[in-house]
Chains A and B, each alone.
Chain A
Amino acid sequence: MATTLSPSTPLSQDEILRYSRHLIIPEVGVDGQQKLKAARVLTVGAGGLGAPIGLYLAAAGVGTIGIVDFDIVDFSNLQRQVIHGTSDVGRPKLDSARDTILEINPNVKVVGYETKLTSENALEIFKDYDLVVDGTDNFPTRYLVNDACVLSGIPNVYASIFRFEGQAAVLALPDGPCYRCWYPEPPPPGLVPSCAEGGVLGVLPGIMGTIQAMEAIKLILGIGQPLKGRILLFDALQMKFRELKLRKNPECPVCGTQPTVTKLIDYQEFCGLRGVETAPAVSAAGALPEITAKDLKKEIDQGRDLVILDVREPHEFQIGRIPGSTLIPLGDLPKRVNELDPDRDLVVHCKMGGRSAKAVEFLRQSGFQKVRNLQGGILAWSEQVDASVPKY
């Protein structure tokens, strides 16, 4: 790919000084730095992974950095999204990222796309770039980025993170595997980790994002061995890197010898999410009995005999709780269900209502008649009833 880049304008005196530590590496040199200057890299997402990717590509002198993001900077982002600062809270991430990048390196051209990446716009956006760095956080966009890279013939520098663990690979190189060779299908929504298993240590996206930035720069320079045909796994707790083989699947629906996916599809539908975006916990048994936070407060004030069952994890309980609630984490419920009295009124809650919906379903199947789900979980309680319960 590097050889296809057109020679760029010469470096200015200022640039020669700025990039001197690159220029004195034989593998980079003036030619390499000009390749970086001519390179056009698209970062999908300006979040945990996108932050270090943007910072390092900018500092390294990548000439054009495109960013796709339509989100707003939130306080809960700052623990890991180091391209944004406290004064950026409330601003579009795109504006905040652009300002930071230009502060690091005003020679960079930042092209912003304040939109959701979709099947309608992806190919149009991708056509102006040499490679894509995937810093997204959901399955539909992961598959969309992959397929659009394969169809556009540009590499996909991939990484993904979870708590203390990361995965990285360079996908969709002409002779290499793509994401679908690895995972032909996404997990159904019911089997993806919930809030109970969510979260990420802030440094982790920093490590994985800089691995992506390094791979992007190697591809641009055409040096070294790309992370192709293998998956790099990182375990921060063990501080171990492992490598797995990743083969190009000749039967891959996108990059195989007889592809069946030849244009972008509906990725929400592909991931089983069509129609459930607004109701993540869909009950097979129909609508679950629910109660709003305000009504729960009313019932408590009226002195109604209620058991408030909190099915979150103990570390979440520690952050904040509804007074008088009983904690039984969802995973423990089957073996601790006998601690609950089926004759009393039960209101079940979690953080946002997803896990508690599962708990309500389980309890009803276990013979509990008087059980209701707290709509919107403890976040709704915090918003509508008691603001002293912290949001997280």
Chain B
Amino acid sequence: MKIKRSVFILGCVCLEVLGFLVFLKGFFPVKSAISGHASFIDLPPQPIQDKFTQAETPSLPVPPLFGRMVIVLIDALRADFVFNTTKDRGMPYVKDQITKQEAVSFVAKAHPPTVTMPRIKAMTTGGIPGFIDVVLNFDSKSLTEDNFITQLHRNGKKIVFYGDDTWIRLFPEHFLREDGTTSFFVTDYTEVDDNVTRHLPDELERTDWDVMILHYLGLDHIGHLAGPHSPLMGPKLKEMDGIMEKIHKAVIKQDSDLELPTLVVLCGDHGMSDQGSHGGSSVTEVSTPLVLLSSLYSNKKGVQFDWSTLQQIDLAPILSTLMGVPIPQNSLGALPTDVLWKYDLRLALRAMQLNAHQVALVYKQNVANYEKKFVFIQYEQAIKKHESWLHKYYNKEVALDEQSAYYVMKAYRDSVVAMRDQVARSLASYDLYAMIIAISLLCMVPMGIVAALFSPDGSSVQVPSCGTVRWLCVASGVVAVAGHFTVCTTSYKSELLCPGTSGIPAVILVVVTGGIVFTMGASGILLLTAFLAVVKSLLVQMTRLPIVTKCFLLGNVLHTISLLSSSFVEEEHQTWYFFTMTVHMAVTGLAIWSYKDQLEDENKISDAVSTTLKDAFNTDQTNCRKPDQKHAEQSGNCFRTVVHPSSELHEVSPSNELHRNTSSVSNENTGNSRRKASSRVNLWTVFGMLIVLMLCRLLRSWNQTGIKWADQTDIGDWLVSPENKLALSVIVVVSLAVITFLLMSLTDDQFLKIMVFIAAVGIFTFKAANGGLVLPGIYSEVTKGVLEARVVYAVVALSLLYTAHKTVRNLKLQPYNTQTFLQLTKSLLVLWTLTITLLMRPHNIPLVAQILLQQVLISRCVVDIVEAFSEDSSVIFLYIWMGNAAFFYQGNSNSITTVDVSAGYVGLDGYSPVLIGTLMCAATYAGPVFWFLALLVKLTERRVLRGKVGKQLKESFLQLACLLILSQSIPNAVYTVLVTLQRYHLFVWSVFSPKLLYQGMTLLVTFLQVVFILMASFMLEKVLLITN
């Protein structure tokens, strides 16, 4: 049976995506929150059996301790910013209150991922958000899970809100008055805060609110801009301190007229790493302060500061209890004893009991056979202690002191913490069966791709279809289905794949999963036989591969192996920098060597030329393929090298592109290739290579990334710092000029050239409007620059339409004209470059210029030399590697911290998750996609120059698709196995999971690229039909 190669490749890439999705679903369990809201209706009574006291103590909630509340949430406020206040950095007023024992303070540990939105969710719901919430972070729909903001709202409290508009999206229609600021202007750290503070005097006058929430973003922005040690930090913290002082003093004044006092809460959503970013799980990123201030604690009635630590999610029960509203029903927070001392001792115990009861409900829902678990027994024992304490209390047997109550409270708290840990662990339970199924899917893909790559017939893939294979397929399918339903009856059953556990009706699930598993088993055998069919030719062809291709393969193997080590995952950029540098170094060495050869030849040529020139030209004509006029002078070089005195002409074998290096790599062959290489080398090539090397070095120090050397200063840091804004602007102008020039020289079309110019101007004005650059006289105040950005989008869209129209027209007019394809791919490259220049932060615009220059030089110099030694596959590998390096040049890493969120908002004024996600993805994968398009240009160009567009181009496109999938699927297969084995490893959340998400994202981009290639090759086929 023969399957068309393109169809086969499409099947493989779909299988890969499916496998990866199933793996992600199994690896990142999505916690199913129970809908509904907690209420005071079915509270448990106090644990006392006594008839006489029972009547006296019905199931009442704990009355509120505070009547009003002000929450000041400072984004990225690290614990030591408050608690280690020094002369020039810190919050002296708050610190003073703490040391004077007029406050209650804790270090609140945030759960990773330390990103704003999951943190707000966690603080308000008291739940531990799953890791996958980061992905959903940008899709911030309103929060439907029970949370204390909703509880406050339902219980009639009036809430006002000022600050990060994430809150407004999460809690629509909750606020009496609101004014949101976006974290869009990452470079702005004054406006965002002034927007919040300006409401403060007015609100402090008013008495119609019960809860005021302020979310300040400036500190976080300073962190992202310049890090925690920047000189901007001190004044910003002072400003925040001043605000705290103002609120605290105003509130104390008002408290004298109020029945219940007001609580002022100072907290942070997450910390800040020493580089100023967040997202990970380092100590600096997870420790935030939690300070409670109130007139109730005045006159040294607070709690002494002792660095006591609690979880950030404890905020939900603390604030709910103190404000007298029910604790959100999915909360896993534990009440600390320190906040309860202002209550009467009986009420304090009651509060602990209600907290424990609520957590126990969550515990019961998540843990099977909970009655027998030690943790639950611990909880029951705490209730017993409580009961005996109440006996003493009501019978007034003995004088009850704080100490006796403390033991009961501690018993409650310990049991709550233990129950929470168990629930958290059960939430992190993996769907092992789904993961194994996914891995076997992912392992099937490389086999299929290898079969497609090495199939002897170019246009189709041979899948054995004799009777035995058919029967084997059916048998394996049946075995798979039987195995599947057997596993589903055991305790290893999968939530995702087995009937009965998920919400989907059982019948459908049985049919669907049964069908899938059957297909899987059958296609597994098919792919295996297809793979085995090519193994023999594979082994032969492997040894025949040119040495350069072997080196590239070795590099990919080394990279895959490196993923097994967590530090190499963190420092993956080093791998790619090292490999690409090695390639360029080798090429440069060859270029210099060959170039010098020529110089010598020139001296000797005069006497040798007359006799041998004619012969040489006739023999070696095939070797100089330079139909292009630009390289006309080089064909002269070709003659010269051929008459090199030491080169024996009889060694020259006819150059057949694909099956050239059939013999093992011998002297003869290397010499041959060297001669070919030297025929392409001139002084400019050597010069260009040296520039490529320097650009590689410059680019790697543009954005320092990874973990180990991330704190080293880089060029990007210098450009970003506010005092260098003018320098940055000048550099950006120069870079834009370079980009414009290079893009204009890339395309011949006048219309596109004009469009490029307009877009470049648009990009600069956008960045200036945005406040990132200086453009004196025109932009005095910071705006979103929506109009400017949209102009650029419009230019790109218009050009795209124009290109499409032109291509169709040209194909209709002259289907034989091979230049059409070249123009199409070139236009795509131009438009993509414009788009990413718009999306990049200003300091990365020079980076785009450099990458573009690098690409031009590489396509002119390196490729010629590389291909002298090898065929298409090496060029493809080279470009894929450069794409990987470019991904990290941009400042990306394998940690979520480095995703540039601001790119998602370019040219948008509303909130649209799909658009934002697309833009962010485009910005993140700007480099790899750029090199992919450059590769398409290069491949097309080579065919067009030789007048052989069509069949051969289609072949090489399909080869590209195969290699793209292969370079993803092999690491994916290895990595998923590793993650499965290491799922209880210490670094699973900080290193392995983010990398897994990145792999998934890269796979998605690869999928789109492959689909694009397949469409292109389909188009080529159509054109071929017309031309034939």
| A and B part of one assembly | no
Interface residues of B (CB under 8 A from A): none
Interface residues of A (CB under 8 A from B): none
